[in-house]
């Protein structure tokens, strides 16, 4: 079996958790966060940094266990500040660690666990069981459209998008991905409007555009991190796809964009 299809089978249970929502979705996202943080800390060590993984993992678990419906959960904010406070003391107590190790520990939590958690926050909103799918539709349709647009229209790779970060990506592929995200999200918006989701259709088009742009940024940022540390993939956990961060790099950014738009522009 083609490795990419095998990888898709590995990821298939996530769809079930998206349908279930609630606590089930929260805990599968927590597991994805822990795996993603492990990958991030592991590749960081290729550059001889020493992020304090155990602190990051404990912080991630506490964050999810105490997660409410609001991102600005005061208890989690207090825990984060206390953790940063204590981590800053470590390079003084143990000089084998330095301030960059502390920074990477916190950054790994923010970049992976917190960004992932916006999937849960969207699911907890009004119409959340419908709106959470926007994240995956925008990301997956964008990736697929970009891939085929790049192969067909960007054949030969003459118009590179960002050659120093990801040499195989083309402008043609990027435009195709943006169009795919916009069209896919708008069509999905029309479909769920038939099920009582009262949101104007133009919002879905705008979300699709923003997610199409920043989803590609998420992909490129993950690539820039791998390039910096000299890694091809974050891990080999998912056959044909690499690791959690290889497969969910754009979703991390799309979830943040979708959450902010739904919260502050639509007002849900």
pLDDT tens digits, the chain, 268 residues: what are they? 455 555 556 667 778 888 888 899 999 999 999 999 999 999 999 999 999 999 999 999 999 999 876 666 767 888 999 999 999 999 999 999 999 999 999 999 999 999 999 999 999 999 999 999 999 999 999 999 998 998 888 676 678 888 888 888 899 999 999 999 999 999 999 999 999 999 999 999 999 999 999 999 999 999 999 999 999 899 888 876 789 999 999 999 999 999 999 999 999 9
At residue 1, the pLDDT reads 47
Helical ranges in the chain per DSSP H: 3-11, 13-20, 22-44, 53-65, 74-93, 99-108, 115-123, 128-152, 171-193, 201-229, 244-260
User: Residue 112 has what DSSP assignment?
Assistant: I
Q: Any idea what the Cα angle at residue 25 is, between residues 223 and 51, rounded to 5°? A: 40
The three-state secondary structure class of 169 is: strand
CA distances from 24 to 18, 31, 123 (A): 8, 11, 11
Per the DSSP assignment, residues forming a β-bridge with 238 are 242
At residue 209, the pLDDT reads 98
Burial of 229 (0-12, 13-18, 19+ CB in 10 A): middle
Burial of 48 (0-12, 13-18, 19+ CB in 10 A): exposed
CA dist., res. 35 & res. 113, Å (int): 10
């Amino acid at each position: 079996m083609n490795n990419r299809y095998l990888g898709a089978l590995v990821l298939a249970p996530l769809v079930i958790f998206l349908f279930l929502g609630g606590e089930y979705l929260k805990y599968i996202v927590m597991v994805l966060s822990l795996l993603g943080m492990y990958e991030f800390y592991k590749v960081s060590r290729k550059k001889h940094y020493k992020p304090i993984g155990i602190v990051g993992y404990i912080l991630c678990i506490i964050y999810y266990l105490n997660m409410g419906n609001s991102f600005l959960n005061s208890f989690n904010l207090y825990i984060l500040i206390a953790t940063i406070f204590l981590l800053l003391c470590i390079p003084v107590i143990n000089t084998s660690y330095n301030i960059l190790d502390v920074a990477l520990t916190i950054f790994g939590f923010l970049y992976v666990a917190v960004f992932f958690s916006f999937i849960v926050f969207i699911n907890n909103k009004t119409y959340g069981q419908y709106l959470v799918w926007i994240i995956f539709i925008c990301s997956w349709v964008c990736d697929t459209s970009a891939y085929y647009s790049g192969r067909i229209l960007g054949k030969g790779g003459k118009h590179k998008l960002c050659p120093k970060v990801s040499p195989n990506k083309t402008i043609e592929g990027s435009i195709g991905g943006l169009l795919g995200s916009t069209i896919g999200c708008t069509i999905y918006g029309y479909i769920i409007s038939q099920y009582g989701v009262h949101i104007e259709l133009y919002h879905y088009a705008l979300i699709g555009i923003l997610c199409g742009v920043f989803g590609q940024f998420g992909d490129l940022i993950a690539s820039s991190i791998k390039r910096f540390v000299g890694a091809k993939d974050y891990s080999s956990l998912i056959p044909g796809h690499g690791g959690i961060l290889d497969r969910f790099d754009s979703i991390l950014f799309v979830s943040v964009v979708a959450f902010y738009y739904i919260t502050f522009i639509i007002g849900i």
